[in-house]
Amino acid sequence: MGVLSSKQIRNLTEGPQTLLSDYVNLDEQLQPNGVDLTLGSIAKPITTGRIGIDNSQRVLSELQELNFDESGYLNLPQGVYIARLNETVALPENLMAIAKPRSSLLRNGVAVNNAVWDAGYIGKSQVQIVVHHPEGFVVAQNARIIQMVFMTLDESAEFLYSGQYQGEATSESKENSK
């Protein structure tokens, strides 16, 4: 298993495979060992969710979209939010990805939580933003909030991601994907 360099990410993004699309500015977003992904929209969970023994028992929290002001900023009081990323990620059968928050967020009392991106996943993902700072946090639309790191698998995945979130927020999305 290895980690893709910025050169490899650029080649896969600008080449025929299209690892990433819908980015804001690839030159600014590329990092030595990954790529920064940007904030597209943000919402607040307003109902209770549930995870059961299998996916048929899953209930997702309903979300209330929040609006950026005329300058493109949003003031987030302390709390939990769900952010939609701008970028569409399309992982081939030999790559997976993880992401961590940009250190500037951590230094401001803001955490970003997310899950693993499995081989075969395609979509505009959501991540959780938790504002721990008692005074809140102000964020701009299109701000770089996480750094995604791509890892090559020792061999191609035996099967590819095909869950509920496949194609989320893209033209390929399922009717009920969120």
In this prediction, residue 55 carries a pLDDT of: 84
Taking the C-alpha atoms of residue 175 and residue 102, their distance in angstroms, rounded to an integer, is: 32
- pLDDT tens across 94-110, in order? 999 999 999 999 999 99
Taking the C-alpha atoms of residue 1 and residue 172, their distance in angstroms, rounded to an integer, is: 30
β-strand pairing of 73-76 with 79-85: unpaired
N residues, the chain: 178
Taking the C-alpha atoms of residue 121 and residue 98, their distance in angstroms, rounded to an integer, is: 12
Taking the C-alpha atoms of residue 152 and residue 161, their distance in angstroms, rounded to an integer, is: 16
Nearest alpha carbon to residue 73 among 22, 123, 138, 13 = 138
Single pTM value for the model: 0.90
Does the pLDDT at position 169 exceed 50? yes
- pLDDT tens across 21-70, in order? 999 999 999 999 999 999 999 999 999 999 999 888 989 999 999 999 99
- Beta strands per DSSP E along 17-143: 20-21, 30-31, 34-45, 63-66, 73-76, 79-85, 88-90, 95-101, 110-113, 122-123, 126-131, 137-140
Q: Residue 27 corresponds to which amino acid?
A: D
Task: Give the pLDDT band of residue 171 (cuts 50, 70, 90).
Answer: low
Does the pLDDT at position 2 exceed 50? yes
Domains of the chain: 2-46+61-152 (2.70.40.10)
Task: Give the pLDDT band of residue 6 (cuts 50, 70, 90).
Answer: very high
Cα dist. 139→73, 105, 119 in Å? Answer: 6, 10, 31
- pLDDT tens across 61-101, in order? 999 999 999 999 999 999 999 999 999 999 999 999 999 99
Does the pLDDT at position 177 exceed 60? no
